[in-house]
Amino acid sequence: MTIDMEHFTPLASLAGGILIGLAALILMAMNGRVMGISGILGDAFLNNPISGLWRWAFLGGTLVSPFVYLLWAEELLPRPVAAGSTLLIGGFLVGLGSAIGSGCTSGHGICGLARFSLRSFVAVMVFMISAIITVYLMPHGA
Amino acid sequence: MALITALISGIIFGVGLALGGMLDPSKVVGFLDLFGVWDPSLAFVMGGGVIINVIGHQIIARRSRPICDNQFHLPMTKTITLPLIIGSVLFGIGWGVTGLCPGPAVASTFVNIDTGISFIVAVIAGLVIGKIVLKQLRPA
């Protein structure tokens, strides 16, 4: 293992994590909801849109958030790793897996771990190992 | 009121993702590339998010209900189930291949319109089918 010092951003990432945590706390304290994006996104389409309007409000906030970030940040340059059918199949697996597994990086990874949920701990271990093996097996630059 | 707090939470969430580096798929894959050239940054995202929540939950847990609703909506299932494991394996594969999980997928929709919209549609298709499958698996 070699540490990638060139791209390592501990302070910005810690600050980002604290904001993500704060967002989850606001949603729980005010709306009584777990900030799990796979659940919010899936249920936005499957549940009653009127009683579930808070989901669309949350998703709307997330949709515009990069542009809020750019009000003071200089740039936001995502470097894609997948394209074409790989991207679409990957996206489908992200949705399918997080629905069947009842959560993703936010719901299990942030909220579940903080509630000391055993299910979330197991889910995080499994998807981390699965993702690490996937990246290990994928052809990518050294 | 509940809509405004959800909107604010969504904005803060997405700004946190952007600041933390979660909207850059290469950075996410760099974090997952444990056996290559490893970028540990995203461990700080997760660590920061979890620590704030552990502290905050001690305060929220003292209340009997949230400010804008009658009750807290928490997951009922407590047992480790096969769908939890299989779903997490599939999610990990998709996350490793694309470098995007659901939150960043939503936030990235309009950042790179060429791929953002088709990607979020693929995620939503997977979510809807997955939720239907999960409902069939559960005993009525």
| Residue range A2-13, pLDDT digits in tens | 899 989 999 999
Q: Which helix (H) or strand (E) holds B38?
A: strand B37-38
Q: How many CB atoms lie within 10 A of CB B59?
A: 10
Residue B140 vs residue B30, higher pLDDT: B30
Of the pLDDT bands very low, low, confident and very high (cuts 50, 70, 90), residue A140 is: low
Q: Helix count (H) and strand count (E) of chain B?
A: 6, 1
In this model, does residue B28 exceed pLDDT 70?
yes
From the list A8, A41, A69, the residue facing B106 with the nearest CB is A41
* Residue partners of A134: CB distance under 8 A and separation at least 6: B32, B92, B93, B95, B96, B97
Per-residue confidence band for A142, with pLDDT thresholds at 50, 70 and 90: very low
Domain holding B37, by residue range, is 2-137
Cα(A125)–Cα(A106) distance, rounded to whole angstroms? 14
Among candidates B7, B44, B101 on the partner chain, residue whose Cβ is nearest the Cβ of A17: B44
ipTM above 0.90, yes or no: yes
Residues of A in contact with B95 (CB under 8 A): 90, 94, 105, 127, 131, 134
Report the mean per-residue pLDDT for chain A: 94
The maximal CA–CA distance of chain B, rounded, in angstroms, is: 49
Give the integer Cα–Cα distance in Å for A27 and A35.
7
Mean pLDDT of the region B71-99: 96
- The reply to whether residue A98 touches residue B2, judged by beta carbons under 8 angstroms, is no
Mean pLDDT, residues B35-52 = 96
Local structure of residue A26 (DSSP, 8 states):
H
Domain ranges of chain A: 10-137
Distance CA A41, CA A39 (A): 6
> Nearest by CB to A97, which of B16, B27, B90?
B90
